[in-house]
Amino acid sequence: MVSTTSTRRPRSAGTAGGAMGSRRPPGGDELPLPSTTGALRRAVRRNLTAYGFLCAALICFAFFSWYPMVREIVLSFQQNNFVDPGEWVGFDNFRTVIADPAFRAAWLNTAAFSGLALVIGYAVPFVLAVVLNELKHAKAYLRFVVYLPVMLPPAVAVLLFKWFYDPGAGLFNQALDAVHLPPLSWLDSTSTALVSLVIVSTWMNLGTGTLIYLAALQSIPGELYESAELDGAGLFKRVRHVTIPQTKLILLVMLLLQVVATMQVFIEPYLLTGGGPENATVTVAYLMYQYAFNFGDFGGGSALGLMLMIVLLVFSTIYLRVSREEAER
């Protein structure tokens, strides 16, 4: 009897891997791996909460930022009182506001306010941050004192300064009287009214700028200051050759934010001067408010707002291009 032995042909690794890793349907195309599909589902499930928060933020941003901008553009070409249907009037709203005598004064005052704020409100927080950074003791307490005005509601801070500027019993005039100087009509004189508003704005926003600059200063490596001190550099030389170059980026960012914020100044002239005396403190934002809510001309107010937005957009574009060129050098 002849015995026959059955031989088994071993499967190759590629065949086994193909049998286990993929399924080939009659059509010839491979189906996706079950493990890959499960990993994708787990990744989506894991990030679903993050996607939900992102969608909610985008919806809020679109509703409170993009929609008002689009609505303002539409209103600037309409005669609309929000009661009757809006009537398209083309560029009539722009012609009306440009012909207003207060239009030129508003733009000049806004530009002057921004310039004074750059001289005072942009430099003072940086100088104060440098001083706080050089101190060895009581840093936490002084940071709290500097930031305290920011925690006050803007209306409260402005009304507080309204008492300071009072011609009779105001704190500033009492201080002048103590050193035998004549009192000033802070808010009633065309020569001091705008400067008085800049002082209020600087005091209200001093804490935020100071803390931002202070955080940037504390991120500078201490070895740079130590090397400068070994070379005999004093405080001013250290600031010039170490501090300013190392904080150049944050200085440029704060410059842009300062200009954008000061060009939209409203609460100070609204609560302190009402645009007076003799339109010396009327600004573009305050004139927008007057057109919309005092005159009932929402089209004119929207036209002013659109012009201000275009000016800020042009400035921001130029600034971003200049800062990009500086960063590439």
What does the pLDDT read at residue 134?
Answer: 81
What does the pLDDT read at residue 133?
Answer: 85
Contact 280, 190 (CB under 8 A): yes
Of 21-30, 51-60, 208-217, the poorest mean pLDDT is in 21-30
pLDDT digits (tens, 9 = 90+) for 1-14: 444 444 444 444 44
Whether residue 147 has pLDDT greater than 80: yes
| Residues forming beta bridges with residue 87, ordered by sequence position | 79
Contact 260, 110 (CB under 8 A): no
Q: Which single residue is written with the structure tokens 């005999």? A: 232
Ordered structural domains, the chain, with CATH: 89-328 (1.10.3720.10)
CA distances from 311 to 250, 259, 315, 316 (A): 23, 11, 6, 9
- C-alpha 124: how far from chain center: 19
Angle at 204 between CA 198 and CA 205, to 5 degrees: 90
Q: Round the average pLDDT of the chain to a whole number and report it.
A: 84
pLDDT digits (tens, 9 = 90+) for 219-261: 888 888 888 888 888 878 888 888 888 888 888 888 888 888 8
166 Cβ neighbours under 8 A, 6+ residues apart: 173
Angle at 211 between CA 210 and CA 216, to 5 degrees: 100
Q: Which single residue is written with the structure tokens 């130590």? A: 226
Number of separate helices (H) and strands (E) present in the chain: 17, 2
The model's confidence at residue 46, banded by pLDDT at 50, 70 and 90, is: confident
Query: Among 206, 211, 116, which Cα is nearest to 161's?
Result: 206
Phi, psi of 224 (to 5 degrees): -65, -45
